[in-house]
């Protein structure tokens, strides 16, 4: 049968993933005068974590109380338990101020009171610092605002339904990508002078997660296969109070957090007792001070000790809060809760840790450049800024800030003209004929069909999620990590080399097959890094190696070459102590 001709596209800057980071990158690269192609395996601006975020964005605006980005930076480093890349943390906190102001100018609608932006006090921050859009609308408002800006710029071409399968390398440089167009089932070849990975995190690797199905860590696998290094892969953040019970339809599982900020919901064990102070933290009654890693630890230890709730978590109670205050803080949400049969004056909510964010990711410098020429990364896909534990609200700031930097850096590498003609391109980007030849193996792989049902990929994804949840979750030990490594190897052998499924349009088996290929690779990276780190720090808790060790105040990077992993321990990137004066005055 004759094959349809290969669809071939070209651009100055290719962006993989259209969440907060990808859209910010697109806007910045287009502002620098470049042609941008923004791709997403889902709908543009609707496929990842950004649109799901319901809560807060941390930034030292000094609107609620005097503040300075340096205080935010100090808090970020403290939460990161010694492992933050200081240049990246600085970028997040310092540049975040302008990024959040710009969103305000673009009409995002940050909540205001008495003529200033409202800033909530979240755990780990030394003062009220987190802006938000009421009620639970932060992520949707951020995504809508960016989508509107993107749509205004004719230099940005938006292509949804396009799953980037692999990056193309020529003379050690990334020069484009091969994608699968999901609607048609056809491969697509893209030539690009610069590529930005903005694919978000990996929390779909876990059975209990707050993610969308697009968050299986594709970007990490793309980066690894292109020769880039990953950093801090062992640090997966579990959000301590993900919703567990009673049944709740139409809400995000992490929706309770902003109401804890506002009202000080009480965390109780199955016996109705407050417990975080018995894990060495200050009592929280009516407040909210314990960081995510510490709260996750305390809840799971209570469950392990037989003091959990019936569904296996802890209670979150607002029963001490007067009804009028509940109504004021929850606004219209209170009626939606009532429709789910939840009356907070009577009902306690059961909550438990859920995989939520990844502190690790692609290793970049402060220009968002990876080790591989032509390849940049941004947003949650980047590792290192948040060290071993992320503060509430830092992730949206990270996505917007790192996205803009990556967009500018990629634009600087792209051709000087305003087109993508062969003679405009940097010398090391091949012409289209050479690129097509380069892409042939992966295009052929995508065009071959394997017998349907031969490999139960959907089932295997669930099996992998179980393995990760049980043995590579918030508590780890050597035996469990070895079990996980063996299970991953067995699943990989079972998947084999051929891509399962049909070559027709919208074949879910084919997509699951591509996802599983990436998820196995990324899961293995997490397991290797977690096995090597023989201490407990932040989000990485080892039952067999309790306590944080000075000699482990180092980062681990992972590379994958010729089918082999290379793990390297390296010093944490520090800024000269004199470069940041932490004794500054806070300002409004």
Ligand X SMILES: Cc1cc2nc3c(=O)[nH]c(=O)nc-3n(C[C@H](O)[C@H](O)[C@H](O)COP(=O)(O)OP(=O)(O)OC[C@H]3O[C@@H](n4cnc5c(N)ncnc54)[C@H](O)[C@@H]3O)c2cc1C
Q: Exposed, middle or buried, 504 (CB in 10 Å: 0-12/13-18/19+)?
A: exposed
Least separation in angstroms between residue 142's CB and ligand X is 8
Nearer to ligand X, 255 or 414 (CB): 255
Exposure pattern of 391-415 as b/e (b: 16+ CB <10 Å)? bbbbbbbbbbbbbbbbbbbbbebbb
Indicate the residue among 201 and 430 with the shorter CB distance to ligand X: 201
Comparison of 252 and 535: residue with beta carbon closer to ligand X: 252
Q: How far is the CB of 202 from ligand X (least distance, A)?
A: 10
Minimal distance, residue 40 CB to ligand X, in Å: 4
* Residue number with CB closer to ligand X (67 or 302): 67
Q: Which is nearer to ligand X, 21 or 190 (CB)?
A: 21
Q: Side by side, which strands form the sheet with 266-268?
A: 236-245, 349-358, 314-317, 266-268
Angle between helices 457-471 and 508-532 (to 10 degrees): 20
Query: Taking Cα atoms as reference points, which of 26, 23, 269, 62 lies closest to residue 155?
Result: 26
Alpha carbon distance, N-terminus to C-terminus of the chain: 69
Could you give the 3-state DSSP secondary structure of residue 293?
helix
Q: How far is the CB of 194 from ligand X (least distance, A)?
A: 16
Spatial neighbors of 471 by CB under 8 A, at least 6 apart, are: 480, 481, 483, 484, 487
CB of 71 or CB of 357, closer to ligand X: 357
Nearer to ligand X, 357 or 376 (CB): 357
**Residue closer to ligand X, measured from CB, 212 or 541:** 212
Q: How many residues does the chain have?
A: 588
Q: To the nearest whole angstrom, how small is the minimum distance from the Cβ of residue 547 to ligand X?
A: 29
Residue with tokens 């052998």: 493
Which positions ≥6 away from 23 have C-beta within 8 Å?
A: 38, 44, 45, 143, 146, 147, 149, 150, 403
Tell me how far CA of residue 293 lies from CA of 356, 382, 386, 551, in angstroms: 12, 20, 12, 21
Residue 245 CA to residue 511 CA, distance in Å, equals 32
Residue 506: C-alpha distances to residues 180, 301, 559 (Å): 10, 44, 33
Provide, rounded to whole angstroms, the least separation between the CB of residue 449 and ligand X. Answer: 21
Q: Which is nearer to ligand X, 290 or 406 (CB)?
A: 406
Q: How far is the CB of 270 from ligand X (least distance, A)?
A: 26
Phi and psi based region of residue 433 (left: phi greater than 0; alpha: psi -120 to 50; beta: remaining): alpha
- Smallest gap from residue 246 Cβ to ligand X (A): 19
CB of 397 to ligand X, least distance (A): 6
Q: Residue 569 has which token pair?
A: 């321990």
Angle, CA of 504, 509 and 510, to the nearest 5°: 60
Nearest approach, Cβ of 258 to ligand X (angstroms)?
Answer: 8
Footprint on this chain of ligand X (rule: CB under 6 A): 16-22, 39-42, 47-50, 52-57, 138, 163-164, 198-200, 210-211, 214-215, 218, 252, 254, 357, 379-381, 393-396, 399
Measured from the CB atom, is 19 or 87 closer to ligand X? 19
Whichever of 17 and 313 has its CB closer to ligand X, that residue is: 17
Three-state DSSP at 336 gives helix
To ligand X, the closest distance from the beta carbon of 431 in angstroms equals 25
């Amino acid at each position: 049968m004759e094959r349809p001709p290969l669809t071939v596209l070209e651009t100055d800057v290719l962006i993989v993933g259209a969440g907060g980071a990808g859209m910010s990158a697109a806007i910045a690269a287009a502002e620098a005068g470049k042609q941008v192609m923004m791709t997403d395996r889902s709908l543009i601006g609707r496929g990842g974590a950004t649109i799901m975020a319901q809560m807060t964005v941390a930034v030292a605006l000094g609107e609620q109380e005097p503040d300075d980005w340096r205080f935010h930076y100090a808090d970020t480093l403290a939460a990161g338990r010694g492992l933050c890349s200081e240049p990246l943390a600085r970028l997040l906190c310092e540049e975040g101020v302008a990024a959040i102001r710009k969103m305000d100018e673009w009409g995002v609608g940050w909540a205001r009171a008495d003529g200033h932006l409202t800033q909530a006090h979240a755990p780990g921050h030394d003062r009220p610092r987190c802006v938000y859009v009421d009620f639970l609308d932060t992520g949707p408002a951020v995504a809508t605002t960016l989508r509107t800006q993107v749509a205004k710029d004719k230099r940005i071409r938006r292509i949804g339904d396009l799953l980037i399968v692999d990056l193309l390398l020529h003379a050690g440089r990334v020069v484009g990508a091969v994608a699968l167009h999901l609607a048609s089932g056809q491969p697509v070849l893209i030539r690009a002078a610069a590529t930005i990975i903005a694919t978000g995190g990996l929390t779909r690797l876990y059975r209990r997660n707050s993610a969308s199905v697009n968050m299986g860590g594709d970007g990490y696998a793309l980066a690894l296969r292109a020769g880039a290094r990953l950093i801090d892969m062992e640090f997966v953040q579990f959000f301590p109070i993900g919703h567990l019970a009673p049944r709740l339809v139409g809400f995000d599982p992490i929706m309770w957090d902003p109401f804890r900020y506002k009202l000080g919901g009480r965390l109780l064990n199955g016996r109705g007792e407050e417990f975080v102070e018995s894990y060495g933290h200050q009592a929280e009654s009516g407040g909210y001070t314990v960081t995510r890693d510490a709260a996750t630890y305390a809840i799971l230890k209570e469950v392990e000790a037989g003091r959990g709730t019936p569904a296996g978590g802890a209670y979150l109670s607002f029963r001490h809060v007067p009804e009028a205050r509940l109504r004021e803080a929850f606004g219209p949400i209170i009626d939606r809760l009532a429709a789910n049969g939840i009356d907070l004056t009577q009902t306690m909510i059961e909550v438990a840790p859920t995989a939520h964010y990844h502190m690790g990711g692609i290793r970049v410098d402060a220009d968002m450049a990876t080790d591989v020429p032509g390849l940049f990364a941004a947003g949650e896909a980047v590792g290192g800024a948040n060290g071993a534990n992320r503060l509430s609200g830092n992730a949206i700031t990270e996505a917007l800030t790192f996205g803009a930097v990556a967009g500018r850096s990629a634009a600087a590498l792209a051709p000087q003209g305003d087109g993508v003609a062969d003679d405009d391109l940097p010398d090391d980007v091949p012409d289209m004929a050479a690129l097509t030849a380069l892409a042939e193996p992966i295009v052929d792989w995508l065009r071959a069909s394997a017998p349907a049902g031969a490999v139960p990929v959907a089932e295997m994804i669930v099996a992998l999620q179980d393995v990760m949840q049980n043995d590579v979750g918030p508590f780890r030990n050597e035996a469990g990590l070895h079990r996980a490594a063996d299970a991953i190897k067995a699943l990989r052998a079972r998947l084999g080399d051929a891509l399962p499924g049909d070559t027709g349009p919208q074949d879910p088996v084919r997509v699951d097959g591509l996802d599983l290929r990436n998820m196995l690779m990324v899961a293995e990276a997490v397991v290797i890094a977690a096995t090597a780190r023989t201490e407990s720090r932040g989000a990485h808790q080892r039952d067999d190696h309790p306590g944080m060790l000075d000699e482990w105040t180092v980062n681990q990077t992972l590379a994958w070459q010729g089918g082999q992993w290379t793990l390297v321990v390296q010093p944490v990137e520090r800024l000269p102590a004199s470069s940041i004066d932490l004794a500054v005055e806070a300002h409004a």
